[in-house]
Structure 1
Amino acid sequence: MMKPVMRIEDTGANPCDGQPVIDWPKAIWNGGLLAIAVVGGPLVFTWSAFGLFVVLTYLTLLIGHSVGMHRMLIHRAFQCGKPMERFLIYVGTIVGVAGPMGIIKVHDMRDWAQRQTRCHDFFAHRRGLLRDLSWQLFYRFRFDRPPMLTIEPRIASDPFYRFLEATWRWQQVPLAVFLFLIGGWPWVVWGVAVRVIVSTAGHWTITYFCHNPGAGRWTVKGAYVQASDLPGLGLLTYGECWHNDHHAFPESARIGLEPGQIDPGWVVIRGLERAGLVWNVGRPRDPGLREDLQERIAL
């Protein structure tokens, strides 16, 4: 297995000690997009703008967020050349959730907290959906004593990734100009504001249900939060809904591991592998050699 992209040293940190506090840049960004989407979306609606929204949302989340940010950047489930890597991470940045360093920190901090014996509801998603969604869209968690985070130099010192991290919100501007030239304000509102807020809120909604009790084959011993699968949502969620499998085998580029578990992200990665554009594609480790896994049920 490759080394993780970020190292977390708890230094006495406790994922229960602290509280959610409003994150003003995040709140203004997501709140502003939400207001534009709710007010402006219906006012400028056209079917072409809606079609653009559907296609662009699906492709950016599939290629950039699921394949690029999640499976490649965070979990290093496959390797590729630098141009392909940067393309995938750029598309992931266009999704509008965070920049490359930000997405690593959000994911790995949550994963670290969930794998402790107990963590705050902010990380465990144990409150109601609306409360949890408001936390994830408008708040950050302020630790009483935060853990120390270190992102590997290959990522942290890369000038392109540093540029994306510093300007990730502004990366919507070139896209907005391009869409305006083709389809006017309807394409801008639906292709940027509606797409970004739906992508962000949709991401956290799926995250919420995937980290509450539900279907799944595996239990990760000692972890406070056990992930769940969401049957029937494989196509809609790019395969990310098979989250119980993912928590059990985070090194695997394929998340839908059981028969019938549709995984579009894996389809993309497998196609790139066959074309010789990616390699060292991760597969699940032998569960028989894993002391931290316990099988819940026989499928």
Structure 2
Amino acid sequence: MNTATLGHPEVSLNGKGAGGPRASTASVVPPEVGRLRFDAARTLWLWGMLIPGVTVGLAAATPTTVAVSLLLTFATLCLGHSVGLHRGVIHRTYEAGPLTRGVLAYLFVLSGLGGPLSWARLHAVRDYWQNRPDCPPYFAYEHSMARDFGWNLHLRFEPADDQALARLPPDVLTDPWLRFLERTWPLHVLGLAGVVLAVLGPEAVALCVCARTAAGILGHWAVGYAAHVWGERRYALPGAAESGTNIWVLGVLSFGEGFHNNHHAFPGSARMGQKAHELDLGWWAIRGLRRLGLVRDVREHPIRPRPHTRALTARSLPSTGPRPGTAPSSSPSPPPGREA
């Protein structure tokens, strides 16, 4: 990507040392990129869900509450997060009417992961920097998992400007329904807790709401870290600091999100699992919605990949690939199609 496009200068990060144990906030995120602040509300939300979920919910689990939790997990993380927010709102890999899009966004809110616009903004900024060679340590994955746990689950990133938000579809940040959900999302999670309390009792709340929400937050973070550090890399993206990896078991458990190298190479595709063995439940859900007439114009691989994407040969494909941009390539890019 031309780094002058969005007006950001090249940023000197002093190599991997920027992510070391004594790294300052300025070295993790240079001031011209943004700043990090401790997020008390986010921290309290995570631990306020995790502690009762583990101490009460898991111990009191019954077949009924486990079944309800699994159903809510599919509805909120698969339909709400992966299909509705990530592939729908952010990447616009399909078209849907306002009712369908609104219901899917509401299901995302019930996941307890946060507000839809906050997630869309951070996704746009992260995507922008990870596709540059001068990606700040906060958005790269040269650091330990423990450090990433602290950075991504307890801090708030505030960008220096809004220019990276141009990556989002133009109507996202002004959508009245999404703006309403952004302001009120915790209330809807608490409302769901009230319904579960009335129907199944307090111990069910600890499992179906608290434990499920904490598992969703921690699971999303863990998949995001793992799918950049370990696993196979099918495509190289020269010039990008991060190109993601594919991890089969995480791809299945995360409704397709763990096939992350595929997604980095084809961000405009609704299908993240490209091979027959890559079980992408989010893609299956989109196909089901299309058959019901709820979504249309679904974009699928092969479509035009990101500029300069290269398909790695099977011979050069490592199990824990080299850092992005360094892998050899001798095979052509996937066949072009619609723009991503």
Compute the TM-score of the two structures, normalised by the length of structure 2. Answer: 0.78
Asked if 1:34 is matched to 2:47, the reply is: no
* Residue 298 (structure 1) aligns with: 314
Q: Which is bigger in relative contact order (C-alpha 8 A, separation at least 6)?
A: 1
Q: Does the CA contact (< 8 Å) of 2:130 and 2:241 recur in 1?
A: yes
Q: Deviations over 1:100-149 (max 9, x none)?
A: 11110121111111111022232113322222122211112355x44534
Would the aligned equivalents of 1:41 and 1:189 in 2 still touch at CA under 8 Å? yes
Aligned to 2:274: 257
Aligned-partner SS, 2:156: strand
Instruction: Describe the SS at the equivalent of 1:259.
Output: coil
- Corresponding residue of 1:3: none
Match of 2:289 in 1: 272
Cα offsets for 1:179-222 (capped at 9, x unmatched): 11110001211111111110011001000011114302101120
The CA deviation at 1:42 is 4.4
> Aligned with 1:211: secondary structure?
helix
Matched with 1:205 is: 222
The Cα of 1:286 is off from its aligned counterpart by 4.8
* 2:21 matched residue in structure 1: none
- Structure with larger Rg: 2
Specify every segment of 5 or more residues in structure 2 that has no aligned partner in the other structure, as ranges: 12-27, 316-340
2:30 to 3, 12, 17: 17
Instruction: Give the aligned CA root-mean-square deviation in angstroms.
Output: 2.3
Q: 1:32-181 to 2 correspondence within 5 Å?
A: 32-42=48-58, 44-142=60-158, 145-148=160-163, 149=165, 154-181=171-198
| Correspondence for 1:223 | 240
8 Å contact from structure 2 (residues 223, 250) kept in 1: no
3-state SS, counterpart of residue 169 of structure 1: helix
Cα distance per residue 1:243-291 (max 9 Å; x no partner): 111110011011111231111111111122122221111123556x864
Maintained 8 Å contact 2:227/2:258: yes
CA distance in 2, matches of 1:47, 1:186: 13
Tell me the amino acid that sits aligned with residue 39 of structure 2.
Answer: D
Shift of 1:155: 2.7
Gapped runs of 5+ residues in structure 1? 1-7
The one-letter code sitting in structure 2 at the alignment partner of 1:283 is E
Q: Distance in 1 between matches of 2:173 and 2:250?
A: 34
Secondary structure class of the residue paired with 2:112: coil
The percent of aligned pairs where both chains have the same amino acid is 33
Q: Distance in 1 between matches of 2:205 and 2:232?
A: 39
Instruction: Single out whichever of 100-109 and 125-134 deviates more from structure 2.
Output: 125-134
Structure-2 separation of matches of 1:195 and 1:106: 23
> In the TM superposition, what whole-angstrom CA distance separates every residue of 1:145-167 from its partner, at most 9, and x where no partner exists?
44534565533233221110001
- Residue 235 of structure 1 aligns to a residue whose secondary structure is helix
TM-score by length of 1: 0.88
The one-letter amino acid of 2:95's match is Q
Q: What count of residue pairs does the alignment treat as equivalent?
A: 290
Relative distance call for 1:174 and 1:284 in structure 2 (3 A) is: same
* SS of corresponding position for 1:156: coil
